[in-house]
Each structure stands twice: as structure tokens, then as C-alpha cells.
Amino acid sequence: MSISLSAPAADSIERLEIVNPASEAILAELTSADRNDLDRMVAAATEAFPAWRDTPLAQRKTAIQGIGKLITENADELAALLTAEQGKPLAQARSELSGAAAWCTGIADQAIEDEMLQETAERIVVKRHVPLGVVGAIVPWNYPVALAIWKIAPAIVTGNCIIVKPSPFTPLTTMRVIELAQALLPTGVLQVIVGGDALGPWMTEHPGITKISFTGSTATGRRVMASCSASLKRVTLELGGNDAAIVFPDVDVDAVVPQIFWTAFVNSGQLCVATKRVYIHEDIYDEFRDALIAFSRTVMMGDGAAEGVALGPVQNRQQYERLQSLLAETAGGAANQITPQPVSNSSGYFVPVTFIDNPPEDSSIVQEEQFGPILPLLKFSDTDDVIRRVNASEFGLGGSVWTTDPDLAIEVAQKIDSGSVWINQPQYLSPFVPFSGHKQSGLGVENGRDGILEYTNVQTITRGPIG
Ligand code: NAD
């Protein structure tokens, strides 16, 4: 498959190769944007901003709903492109796109109106949520379209202009979605810029950008925040996670195993809120581990474009190599590596599903974010002790509790230090439900009313008696 898409005009000659992770074939070559391209886009967004801010809310809502409709209408083309550049199986690419479309509607439905705070004979006080200006959106490679829409929809509906920087590994589908969406918006309101490693820092430093909404790793998030501090840009940071699932001995093993499997391995584990460690009560540890191994044999890994494939490759060579080094480190340790279905592709970044059988708590595979299809299984016997182990982490993004005891479930969920906790169900994300990271998993909120408000400043207007 060869794709020809135009990148923004650029004076520099830096080229970006976009690679299909299932075959390592080059899908497209793009010219990397340079600083002048960014300056031109910021200037266009700055010029478009006053008119877009003053556009009636109803029109802004219609525009964002229209973008959702365009994503749905073009889902076949977009899903094929997304699978080719990201690696996820076609069904998961479709579900990312249908999620993105649902976000457009859901965010538009919650647009924030002015609020009357006081209305007396002496004064009237109105609270407004005014847009910030030009937003820079920086997006990772795991869910490139969905995570871009999580930023585009609230930015646009609140009256901002936005420049989106996809990951240089996965820019193609985002470029196509934005190309389609631009037909519904005035020039300069929504733009996309693609570039190499220097581009993100240029955006976070740029004096014309008033907010950065960043999704990516915690290490990069720290750099983004430091850079934004120079001009006191608003920042929203959605960062890494090391989510734990806690499985109590009263669960129905057959019912829970497939659910835990998919919470960990969807998109080959490349999900910020993937289950990245499973704590299983010692009474059912062996039974649960063996059932997970058996279930994983029913799931096919391969090129996401092929029929029947449910797990794709990891997205890029760097991630592949990081996973290989985690495996090598674990191989030298005390725990068994269990690989139920080895893969034998001569090309592509394929890492087979691998379970690490009860590794030491301080091993890298337990303490770090693996972001791939390798899952440590850990034994516990005491509830307070497992909560302590789960919380002994710099991350605090999500987590889950699995038990038939409702009181225990709530008690444990409330003690987990993370922004989202799910009880007896896989990760539920919604445009209506705030999503945030505690500790070093992030700063600020996406989604829901709280997430939309992050694209605004509060302004109060107080009026005394007239005449
Ligand atoms: P990354 O941090 O390497 O890159 C993310 C984006 O930041 C890319 O667009 C990259 O080009 C850009 N970037 C790199 N250096 C930059 C800098 N100095 N300044 C500004 N921008 C810069 O992350 P990744 O490897 O693309 O994605 C995987 C990570 O993202 C994982 O840690 C995962 O948990 C996290 N993630 C978090 C969420 C969430 O909502 N919390 C969602 C998805 C992924």
C-alpha cells in the first residue's frame, strides 16, 4: 500500500518516513515542517481567532458535530489507513474512529454556557468561560485519531483555534481527518502540522500559543511543562500509567479471564489505561494464570489488515526494542516467561503475548510502564498489602477491582490513588466522564464538563445599576 499525502509546505529538507509496523514497508514520505511553517500556522490561527470566538455557540456545535459525521462517512478509508500506519487490527481501528465520532457529538452536547452568579438591585454578576486563543495539541502514536479529537472537539466548541501535531510515527489518518474537517471551518481554525523531534519543543515555546494539551509519556510531559512555564501557558497533561487489576478469590474465573485479557492486550497493550500488572489472590492464582494462558491461545496475532487478526504488531522499532530489553532483563530473573503462541514473522514489530509469572515486586516489568503485550502476574494474600503495592508507584492513571463483594469493591476502589477506577468491567471512557491522571500520570482533566473548561479562562462581568 502506498499513500500520497501532502505535508505542509516547508523550506527545510528533513524527511519523515511513515512505516507500516506489520511489514516495515514505507507507507509515505513527508516533508517535516520547520519553524517558519509553525509561525505561519500560528499567525493564521491568531487571525482566525476573534471571528471564531464570536461565532454563535450553535454554529460551533454544528461544526464539531459535522466533523463527527465526516469521520463516520469516511470510516472505511480512514480505518484502512489507521491500521496501515498504527498496526491495530481493522476492527479496533473502526472502533477508534467510531469513538472519535461519538466524542464530537458528546462534547458538543455539553458546551458550556454563561452563568448568572448574582442578580440583585445593586448588581448583576455573570460568569463566562472565554476561549484561550490558539491551542497546540500534541498527540502520541497509540490512538492518534481518538486522542486528537479529544482535544479538537472541546477546543473548537469553546471558540479556540487549534493546531494539531500528531506523532511523527502516525500522522497520516489525522492529516486526512483534519483535511476533511477543514471544509466545515473557517481558514485557520483547525490546522495540522507534522514534523520531527524539534517540532514539539517549538510549539511549547511559541509565544503565540496560549495552551498546550499534551498526551504522551511522563518523561516528555515533564519537558512540556517546563517549557510552557516560560510563558505561563495553560497545560493539560495526560501521561503514562501503570494500572493494576486486583482479582479477589470470589470471582468467576471463566467470566473474568477474557475481560482481564482484553484490558491488558487491546491494541497490543499500547493503551495508557491498559492493565499493566495483575494482582491475583493466591487461592486462585494458578487457576487464573492457566486460564489466561489458555485464552491467549485463542487470539490471533498478525497483520491487522488480515481477516481474523485480533492483535497487531507494536507500533514502532523503538517500542519493539524497549520490549525486547524488558524481556531480556526478565529472562535473567527469578520469574518464568510464558509465551503461549510464539510469532515467527521475518518482518514487522511483532512481540508475542507474554506472561511473567510472579516476578519480584521491584522488577522493571512491575515498576515501569511496559506499553506492550507483556503482562506481569503477581500473587497477593492480604488486602491492605495489595493496596499498598498498587499505590507504590509514581503513576496514578487507572486501575480495576474484580470481586463479587460490592462492599469490598468500593472500599478497595476508594483506596486506589488514581484518576479512574473500574469495578468488574474493562476501561470505560466517555465524552461525558472526566478522565485525569493523579501523581505523575498527568495534570488537569480531559472529557466531561471539567475537560471542556480546560480550554477556557473564567471571566466575570459585574454590572451596577444603570442610570
Ligand atoms: P511521547 O511522549 O514520546 O510523545 C508524545 C508526543 O510528544 C509526540 O507527538 C512527540 O512527537 C511529542 N514530543 C516528543 N518530545 C517532545 C518535547 N520535548 N516537547 C513537546 N512534544 C514532544 O509518547 P509516545 O511514545 O508517543 O506515546 C506513548 C505514551 O503516551 C505512553 O507513556 C502512554 O501511557 C502515554 N499515553 C497517555 C494517555 C493518557 O491519556 N494519559 C493516552 C495515550 C498515551
9 lies in a domain?
yes
339 lies in a domain?
yes
One domain, residues 317 and 198: no
Distance 219 CA to ligand 1 centre (A): 9
435 lies in a domain?
no
Q: Is 238 a catalytic residue?
A: yes
**CB contact burial 113-147 (16+ within 10 A = b; e otherwise):** eeeeeeeeeeebeeeebebbbbbbbbbbbbbbbbb
The CATH number linked to 39 is 3.40.605.10
Chain centroid offset of residue 343 CA = 27
Residue spans of beta strands (DSSP E) within 204-300: 211-215, 234-238, 243-247, 275-281
The answer to whether residues 437 and 419 touch, using CB atoms and an 8 Å cutoff, is yes
Helix axes of 75-86 and 57-73: crossing angle, nearest 10 degrees: 70
One domain, residues 258 and 208: no
48 lies in a domain?
yes
Distance 442 CA to ligand 1 centre (A): 12
Q: Residues in the chain, how many?
A: 467
**CB contact burial 364-389 (16+ within 10 A = b; e otherwise):** ebbbbbbbbbbbbbbbbeeeeebbeb
User: What residue ranges line ligand 1, CB within 6 angstroms?
Assistant: 138-142, 147, 165, 167-168, 200-201, 204, 215-217, 220, 223-224, 238-241, 272, 369, 371, 397, 437, 442
One domain, residues 456 and 421: no
One domain, residues 411 and 398: yes
* Half-sphere exposure of residue 105: CA atoms within 13 angstroms, side-chain side: 10
List the catalytic residue out of 161, 272, 369, 454.
Answer: 272
One domain, residues 311 and 456: no
- Count of domains in the chain? 2
pLDDT tens-place values along the chain, 467 residues long: 434 344 444 444 689 999 999 999 999 999 999 999 999 999 999 999 999 999 999 999 999 999 999 999 999 999 999 999 999 999 999 999 999 999 999 999 998 989 999 999 999 999 999 999 999 999 999 999 999 999 999 999 999 999 999 999 999 999 999 999 999 999 999 999 999 999 999 999 999 999 999 999 999 999 999 999 999 999 999 999 999 999 999 999 999 999 999 999 999 999 999 999 999 999 999 999 999 999 999 999 999 999 999 999 999 999 999 999 999 999 888 889 999 988 877 799 999 999 999 999 999 999 999 999 999 999 999 999 999 999 999 999 999 999 999 999 999 999 999 999 999 999 999 999 999 999 999 999 999 999 999 999 999 999 998 76
For residue 318, the ligand 1 atom closest to its alpha carbon is 25
For residue 441, the ligand 1 atom closest to its alpha carbon is 41
One domain, residues 235 and 253: no
pLDDT of residue 467: 62
Distance 139 CA to ligand 1 centre (A): 6
Q: Which helix (H) or strand (E) holds 356?
A: strand 354-357
The answer to whether residues 27 and 169 touch, using CB atoms and an 8 Å cutoff, is no
341 lies in a domain?
yes
Identity at 421, one-letter amino acid code: V
434 lies in a domain?
no
One domain, residues 261 and 273: yes
One domain, residues 135 and 8: yes
Please tell me the residue having the least CA distance from ligand 1 atom 42.
272
Phi, then psi, of 344 in degrees rounded to 5: -130, 45
Domain containing 392: what range? 243-429
For residue 319, the ligand 1 atom closest to its alpha carbon is 25
One domain, residues 354 and 453: no
pLDDT of residue 332: 80
d(CA 45, CA 399): 39
Residue position matching grid coordinates 483555534: 161
184 lies in a domain?
yes
pLDDT of residue 343: 82
pTM above 0.75, yes or no: yes
Please tell me the residue having the least CA distance from ligand 1 atom 13.
200
Distance 303 CA to ligand 1 centre (A): 24
Instruction: Give the residue, out of 38, 141, 217, 235, with the most ligand 1 atoms within 8 A of its beta carbon, to mutate for a pocket test.
Output: 217
The CATH number linked to 268 is 3.40.309.10
Phi, then psi, of 406 in degrees rounded to 5: -65, -35
290: Cβ–Cβ under 8 A, 6 or more apart, which residues?
none
Distance 77 CA to ligand 1 centre (A): 26
One domain, residues 62 and 192: yes
Please tell me the residue having the least CA distance from ligand 1 atom 22.
200
The answer to whether residues 36 and 61 touch, using CB atoms and an 8 Å cutoff, is no
Number of H helices, E strands in the chain: 15, 22
One domain, residues 156 and 9: yes
One domain, residues 262 and 303: yes
Phi, then psi, of 338 in degrees rounded to 5: -115, 120
Distance 104 CA to ligand 1 centre (A): 22
411 lies in a domain?
yes
> Counting Cβ atoms within 10 Å, is residue 297 exposed (0-12), middle (13-18) or buried (19+)?
exposed
For residue 201, the ligand 1 atom closest to its alpha carbon is 19
Give all strands of the β-sheet with 442-443 in edge-to-edge order: 190-192, 161-165, 134-138, 211-215, 234-238, 442-443
